[in-house]
Amino acid sequence: MLEKIDQQWLKSFHCVYENNSFKKAAEFLCLPTSNVSRHIALLEEQLDVRLFDRTTRRIASTEAGEHLYLRTQPLLDKLNDALEEVTQHSREVMGQLNVLMPDSPELAQAVVSFCTQHSSISLCCDTNISPKEDFVDGFDVILSFHRGKLEDNNWIAKEIKRWPSAVVVAPKLLKTSLKPFKITDLKHVPCINSFTALNGTPWVFKSLTGELITQRVQSAFKVNSGQLAKAGALAGLGFAILPAEFCRDEIDAGYLEVIELEYKPEDLVLYAFYASRKHIAKKVPIFIEHLQRQANLDVQK
């Protein structure tokens, strides 16, 4: 029976089962939806059993589909682990690399240069600046910005780049708003939230001893983009925490002013996250090391 089953059929089946969607499975596998549907149909035909009940609105696994998934998942995991162990002994970086990352020109260039250097890599990349927990399954590497302490999860985090930050404001806003001297004063002035703003995350500062201190702020301009946050600050819509490097020209030109408080803003950090498994495919650490080298080159410019 095994010789009659294509491994890709099983991979498509597992992906559809885990996502409850042919469309989402196709996006993850980087295949046309029609291909995934055909794989399931061929598998059902070969096994002579229906694996999914389909309606116009949803799909659900049948009892046979549930049984097939539960029995084959451990086997496929073991097979994948065995193959990844073997690739550790290979000098060549190969295989499909699934990446979730912010839509950043600098990161895009780093990813392109990696694929240029490693022609045997097949890239499947999705862009999202603040990925949700239920969206990350199936990716080899997730790149995400964070400020402050990371939440506990099952992923390993590697720091790619760190940006010292500053509280900045357009001088024209100071003509109509109080100038804060302590972080608690930020509760009484308009502020701009960025990156994790939609989750209601407070601003994060650090003491001289490195202790993290959070401060809630009021904001009528909430964005998940550093570019938008800077544009809003320049327009006088509020105070903002931004990487100093990111707005150096505007500060030097006098379009933005740095606000000194009793605590410094915590650095903005780009992390690469990957699954905490015993055996990791060689492509993952090599990709992360490439990003770190690119970040170091940018710092030295």
Identical fold for domains 95-160+269-298 and 165-266, yes or no, is yes
Are 225 and 130 in contact by the 8 Å Cβ rule? The answer is: no
**pLDDT at residue 278 tops 70:** no
Look up the CATH number of domain 95-160+269-298.
3.40.190.10
Express each pLDDT in 98-122 by its tens digit.
899 988 888 999 999 999 999 889 8
**pLDDT at residue 47 tops 50:** yes
Percentage of the chain surpassing pLDDT 90? Answer: 50
pTM of the model: 0.69
Buried b (16+ CB within 10 A) or exposed e, 143-170: bbbbbbeeeeeebebbebbebebbbbbb
Query: Any idea where the domains of the chain sit in the sequence?
Result: 2-87, 95-160+269-298, 165-266
CATH number belonging to the domain at 165-266, selected among 3.40.250.10, 3.40.190.290, 3.40.50.150, 3.40.50.300:
3.40.190.290
Angle made by CA atoms 233, 234, 236, in degrees to the nearest 5: 65
